[in-house]
């Protein structure tokens, strides 16, 4: 089974964490053709943390886990901290393929999304 784990920074404001969980549900509604399982995890400050989130997907039967960093810039979190957390889960589960996708801000589709956001507001 193929799984996605959307990873956000995590916030002391539980409302912000809930916002990510709701977004994950919206992705789930669209992703059934490509992925069997999808969940949210956080780098810090909120639960589940990345290794727990990956483990939960594996326990549900995932053979492949794709970690998708919901981050805007290639800072230390994207370059170092997320790979380090993913490595812990990989070490505990050597037979599972665990990959990390490009972070959100690097998406080729980002310029179009920003333009769409601006145009839709201009029309209001």
Positions annotated as catalytic residues are 9
Interface ranges with a copy of itself (CB under 8 A)? 2, 4, 6, 8, 11, 13, 15-16, 19-20, 23, 26-27, 29-31, 34-35, 66, 68, 70, 72-75, 99, 101-102, 104-105, 107, 109-122
**Torsions phi, psi of 96, nearest 5?**
-95, 135
Output the smallest distance, CB 107 to a copy of itself, in A.
5
Output the smallest distance, CB 68 to a copy of itself, in A.
5
C-alpha span between 88 and 92 (Å, rounded)? 6
Output the smallest distance, CB 120 to a copy of itself, in A.
8
End-to-end CA distance of the chain: 43
CB count within 10 Å of CB 60 equals 12
Cβ proximity to a copy of itself, 84 vs 114, nearer residue? 114
**What's the angle, vertex CA 70, arms to CA 97 and CA 111, rounded to 5?**
115
């Amino acid at each position: 089974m193929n799984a996605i784990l959307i990873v956000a920074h995590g916030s002391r404001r539980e409302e912000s964490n809930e916002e990510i969980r709701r977004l994950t549900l919206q992705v789930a509604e669209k992703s059934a053709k490509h992925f069997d399982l999808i969940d949210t995890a956080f780098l810090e400050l909120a639960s589940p943390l990345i290794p727990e989130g990956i483990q939960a997907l594996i326990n549900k039967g995932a053979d492949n886990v794709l970690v998708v960093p919901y981050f805007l810039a290639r800072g230390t979190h994207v370059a170092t901290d997320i790979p380090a957390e993913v490595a812990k889960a990989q070490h505990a589960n050597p037979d599972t393929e665990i990959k990390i996708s490009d972070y959100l801000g690097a998406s080729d589709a980002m310029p179009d999304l920003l333009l769409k956001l601006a145009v839709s507001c201009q029309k209001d």
